[in-house]
C-alpha cells in the first residue's frame, strides 16, 4: 500500500525537506510548493516502493524542483533587468575613475563569529534585501556549488549575465554586512 | 593597469570561472599594491563560508517546520493524485 508510506514520509521527512527548500528559496510559500511537488513526483515514480534511503532520494528530487522554481523566477525578470550592461547601476560603489566610493573596511572576524546568532541575523536580513533572483542564483552558486555552466544552462542565461548577477549580489551583500554588522 | 572597479569584477568572477593567465597577472599586480581590493577579496571568501553556515543552520533548525494545516493540505492534495 503506497498511501501509508507516503504519509509516513511526509511526517518523517517533510519538515527537513521544507527547511532545505526554505534555506535556498527563502520564500515559505515557494518552499511549501516544492515540497508538495517533490512528494507528488515521488509517489508517481516507479521507484517509489524500492527506496531504502528515502530522505536522500527525496532531497535529490527536491533539488531539481528548486532549480525549476529558480528558472521560472529568473525568466520572469524583464530582459532589460538582466543586465546587458556590466557597468549599469554600480555607480554607488565606485567613482568615475573606478576607485572605491567607500573603501572596504577591515573585518575583524573572531574565531567562531560566523556561527553566532547575531552575525547570522545580519546575514539573513542582508540576504532579504537582495533582489530575490540575485539571492537565489547566489545561493545556487555559492552554497550548492553548482557549476557555473550548469547554472547558465538550467536558468537559460548567458555566462556573462550570471557573472554580472553574482557580482552584484556579492557587492550588495558585502556592503550591507559591513554597514549593519560592523557598526554594532 | 586595472582600476578597483575592474579588479572587483575579476575577483568576483574568479569564484565562478578560471581567469586567463593575463587576468590573473593583472589581478595579482593590482592586489599587490591595493589594500582595499585585497580586503574585498577576503570579504567575498568570508561571505561564501558565512552563507554555507547560514544554510546549514536553517537546515538543522528543528524548530522550523511546516504547520499542521500545510501538511494536511499536502496530504489531501497527494491523496487526490493517487
Cβ-proximal residues to A139 (8 Å cutoff; 6+ apart), any chain = A23, A24, A26, B51, B55
pLDDT at residue A184 in the model = 60
The C-alpha of A78 sits at a distance from chain B's nearest C-alpha, in angstroms, of 23
A79 pLDDT more than 70: no
Contact A138 B51 (CB under 8 A): yes
Distance from CA of A57 to the nearest CA of B (A): 17
Run of H or E residues at A34: helix A28-44
**Side-chain-facing half-sphere of B3: CA atoms under 13 Å:** 10
pLDDT value of residue A76: 64
Q: How far apart are CA A49 and CA A1, in angstroms?
A: 9
Residue in B with minimal Cα distance to A90 = B5
Taking the domains of chain A in order of start, what are their residue ranges?
Answer: 2-76, 87-182
Is the pLDDT at A45 greater than 90? The verdict is: no
The class that CATH gives domain A2-76 is mainly alpha
By CA distance, what is A115's nearest residue in B?
A: B53
Per-residue pLDDT at A89 exceeds 90: no
Band (pLDDT 50/70/90 cuts) for residue A18 is very high
Can you tell me the distance from the alpha carbon of B68 to that of B58, in angstroms, rounded to the nearest whole number? 19
The answer to whether A27 touches A135, Cβ cutoff 8 Å, is no
Judging contacts by C-beta atoms under 8 Å, the chain A residues touching residue B52 are 142-143
pLDDT top residue among A118 and A20: A20
Chain B residue whose CA is closest to A120: B54
Closest-CA distance, B9 to chain A, in angstroms, reads: 7
Residue A83 has pLDDT above 70, yes or no: no
A2-76 and A87-182, same CATH topology: no
Q: In DSSP terms, which residues pair with A100 in a beta bridge?
A: A94
What is the CATH code for A87-182? Answer: 1.10.10.10
Per residue in B49-79, pLDDT tens?
Answer: 888 888 888 899 999 999 999 999 999 998 8
By percentage, how much of chain B surpasses pLDDT 90? 73
What average pLDDT does the segment B7-16 reach? Answer: 95
Tell me, yes or no, if B19 comes closer than 8 A to chain A by beta carbon. no
Amino acid at each position: 500500500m503506497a498511501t501509508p508510506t507516503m504519509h509516513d514520509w511526509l511526517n518523517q521527512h517533510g519538515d527537513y525537506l521544507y527547511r532545505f527548500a526554505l534555506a535556498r528559496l527563502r520564500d515559505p510559500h515557494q518552499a511549501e510548493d516544492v515540497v508538495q511537488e517533490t512528494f507528488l513526483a515521488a509517489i508517481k515514480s516507479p521507484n517509489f516502493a524500492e527506496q531504502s534511503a528515502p530522505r536522500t532520494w527525496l532531497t535529490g528530487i527536491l533539488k531539481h524542483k528548486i532549480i525549476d522554481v529558480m528558472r521560472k523566477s529568473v525568466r520572469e525578470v524583464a530582459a532589460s533587468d538582466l543586465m546587458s550592461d556590466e557597468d549599469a547601476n554600480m555607480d554607488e560603489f565606485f567613482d568615475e575613475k573606478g576607485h572605491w566610493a567607500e573603501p572596504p573596511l577591515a573585518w575583524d572576524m573572531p574565531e567562531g563569529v560566523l556561527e553566532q546568532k547575531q552575525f547570522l541575523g545580519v546575514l539573513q536580513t542582508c540576504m532579504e534585501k537582495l533582489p530575490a533572483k540575485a539571492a537565489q542564483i547566489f545561493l545556487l552558486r555559492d552554497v550548492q556549488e553548482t557549476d557555473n555552466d550548469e547554472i547558465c544552462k538550467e536558468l537559460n542565461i548567458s555566462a556573462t549575465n550570471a557573472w554580472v548577477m553574482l557580482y552584484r549580489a556579492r557587492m550588495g551583500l558585502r556592503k550591507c554586512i559591513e554597514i549593519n554588522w560592523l557598526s554594532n | 593597469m586595472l582600476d578597483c572597479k575592474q579588479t572587483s569584477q575579476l575577483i568576483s568572477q574568479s569564484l565562478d570561472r578560471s581567469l586567463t593567465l593575463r587576468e590573473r597577472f593583472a589581478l595579482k599586480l593590482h592586489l599587490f599594491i591595493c589594500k582595499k581590493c585585497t580586503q574585498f577579496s577576503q570579504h567575498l571568501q568570508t561571505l561564501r563560508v558565512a552563507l554555507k553556515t547560514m544554510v546549514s543552520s536553517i537546515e538543522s533548525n528543528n524548530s522550523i517546520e511546516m504547520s499542521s494545516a500545510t501538511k494536511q493540505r499536502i496530504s489531501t492534495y497527494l491523496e487526490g493524485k493517487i
